[in-house]
Structure 1
Amino acid sequence: MTDAIIVFDIDGTLMDHRASADEGLDNFLRLIGAEPTALLHDTWHRAEQEHFMTWREGKVTFAEQRRRRMADLLEALVKPVSDTAQLDQLFGAYLVEYKRAWRAYPDVSSCLEELRKRGFELAVLSNGDDQQQNLKLERIGVREYFACVLTADSLGVAKPHREAFDAAVEALGTAGSELTYVGDDFELDVLAARTAGWRAFHLDRSGTRCVRGCIRSLNELPALLCR
C-alpha cells in the first residue's frame, strides 16, 4: 500500500450504531413481550459499555460479553436468565433486529468518494468481531472504498492499546506518521492514535467537545487533509 492512508473507525463514525442499537432494541423488546422504555435503553447502553470494555481488555470472550449484556437487560426486566444457550439465543434475536437497522451517516459516501478522487487510500481499524464489522461495511454500502479492514478480532488486540495501532502500521505497510485516523471517541480513537504517532481527527457530530483536530462532519475532512 502507498503512503497517505486515511483510516476510519466504524461505529459512531461511518455507521450510526446508537440509532441502530436503539431501533434494534425496541423491536427485540416487543418480540419478547416487553415495552421499550428509557430505563431499558439506558440499561442496555451501560451494559454494552461495561462488558465491551471488559472484552476489549481481554478479560472475557466476545460471546461472553454479549451474554452479560443480555443478562443485565433481563435483570432489569425482572426476567433473569443464567443459561448460556438461552442467553445466546436471545442475543441472536436482538442481533437480527440490530442488523436490520444498520445505516450509514448521511455524510459518509460523499466523504469517501471525494477522498478516493483525491488519491487517498482508505482503510478501517475497528474494535469488534471481524465478520460482523466487514458485514456492516457491506450492508451500509461502503465496503468497496476500503483496501484493508482491520479489527481487534483479526489483530488480536483492541484500541486504545498501542499494540493495535502498531499492528495496523505493520499490516498497512507504511509508517505511523503517514497514517491519519478518524474516529468519534476522543480517548479511544484520537488520543490513542496520536500516542502511537498517527495524525488523528475527532469526529464530534454533537459539537459538545471542541478540541484540536475536531470536525463535526466527515464532509469537512477532504479539505483539511489537502491543506
Structure 2
Amino acid sequence: MKAILFDLDRTLHDRDASVQNFLKYQSDWLLRDHPSLDVEAFKERFFVHEKGGYVWKDIVYEKLVEEFSLEVTGEQLLADYVDHFAQHSQEMKGASELLTFLKNQGFKLGMITNGKGAFQDATIDSLKIRDFFDVILISEYEGIKKPDPFLFEKATQVLGLTPKECVYVGDHYENDIVAAKRVGLKTIWLTNKEIAPCFSEAERIIRSLEEWLKELIRAVP
C-alpha cells in the first residue's frame, strides 16, 4: 500500500462531540432570551431532525423554531451554525498522532468527504490537519458525492496511483466501504457496531484510530 485515504466526519472528525459542544454554546445564548427553553429537549430534537448530519440545518432550524416557539428565525440560527460550528470541532482520539505516523512512514494521504465546501474546509482548518494531505476532495466542490465512484477514482488519479495501491478508511458502510471496494481500493471500516468480519466487505474492522495506531507502531521493525 502506498496511500491511505480517509473520510472526515466520524472518522477523523468527532462530529458527534463537536455538535454537542456547539449546541451547548448555541443554547447558552438562546437561554438569554428564552429562559424557559428546555435545553436537553432542544438538543435531542436537533439530532432527530438532522438525521446524523444528512439533513442540512436550514430545515432543522425551521422545525426547531416552530417546535420551541423561538423568537429568532431559522435563518439566524443557521447563520450562527455556519459561522461558529468549526470553532467547536474536535478530532477523533488519536487522529493527529495517526496521521503523523503514517506521513512519517512515507504514505501519501488523502481525504474524501461529503458536505458543503466552505463548511468542511472550516472544520478541516479548525482541526489543523490540512497539511497532512496530498489530496482533499469535498463533494460540493466536485459536484458529486459518495458513494459515486468518481470521487474515489479522482483521488487515486491525483495521487498518481492505482486503486489497488490505496486503502480507504471510513465509518459509513455504504458510502465508504462498499463504494471504495467497487473501485478497487482496500478498505478499513471504523465502527463500534458488533459485526462479525464475515458479514463485512472491509478487509479490516477497527474500533478506534488509537487502537489501529498502536497496532501499526508495534508492527514497525
On whether the aligned pair clears a TM of 0.5, the verdict is yes
Match of 1:74, as an amino acid?
V
User: For each residue in 1:150-207, what CA deviation from the matched residue of structure 2 results, as whole angstroms up to 9, or x when unmatched?
Assistant: 1101221111222332333333332222221111122221122112211110112x35
Matches within 5 A, 1:28-47: 28-32=26-30, 33=34, 34-37=37-40, 39-47=41-49
User: For each residue in 1:31-83, what CA deviation from the matched residue of structure 2 results, as whole angstroms up to 9, or x when unmatched?
Assistant: 2233311x433322232238836xxxxxxxxxxx33112112223324498xx
User: For each residue in 1:118-173, what CA deviation from the matched residue of structure 2 results, as whole angstroms up to 9, or x when unmatched?
Assistant: 11011110111222222222211221111211110122111122233233333333
2:111 is matched with: 124
2:25 is matched with: 27
Contact 1:24 1:95 in 2 (8 A): no
Instruction: Tell whether 2:174 aligns with 1:183.
Output: no
Q: Distance in 2 between matches of 1:51 and 1:132?
A: 13
The 1:43/1:196 distance shift into structure 2, 3 A limit, reads farther
Matches within 5 A, 1:105-124: 105-124=92-111
Match of 1:208, as an amino acid?
E
Matches within 5 A, 1:90-101: 90-101=77-88
Instruction: Tell whether 2:59 aligns with 1:68.
Output: yes
Q: Distance in 2 between matches of 1:168 and 1:80?
A: 45
SS at match of 2:39: coil
Match of 1:217, as an amino acid?
S
Unaligned ranges ≥5, structure 1: 54-64
Indicate the larger mover: 72-81 or 11-20: 72-81
1:87 is matched with: 74
Instruction: Tell whether 2:194 aligns with 1:208.
Output: yes
TM-score scaled by structure 2?
0.81
Contact 1:190 1:201 in 2 (8 A): yes
Q: CA deviation at 1:107?
A: 0.6
SS at match of 2:54: helix
| Aligned CA-pair RMSD | 2.7
Q: Distance in 2 between matches of 1:199 and 1:141?
A: 27
Instruction: Tell whether 2:208 aligns with 1:217.
Output: yes
Q: Distance in 2 between matches of 1:200 and 1:182?
A: 6
Aligned positions, number: 208
Q: Distance in 2 between matches of 1:68 and 1:112?
A: 35
The 1:48/1:187 distance shift into structure 2, 3 A limit, reads same
SS at match of 1:10: coil
What is the aligned-residue identity percentage?
A: 25
2:90 is matched with: 103
SS at match of 2:168: strand
Q: Distance in 2 between matches of 1:16 and 1:22?
A: 10
SS at match of 1:125: strand
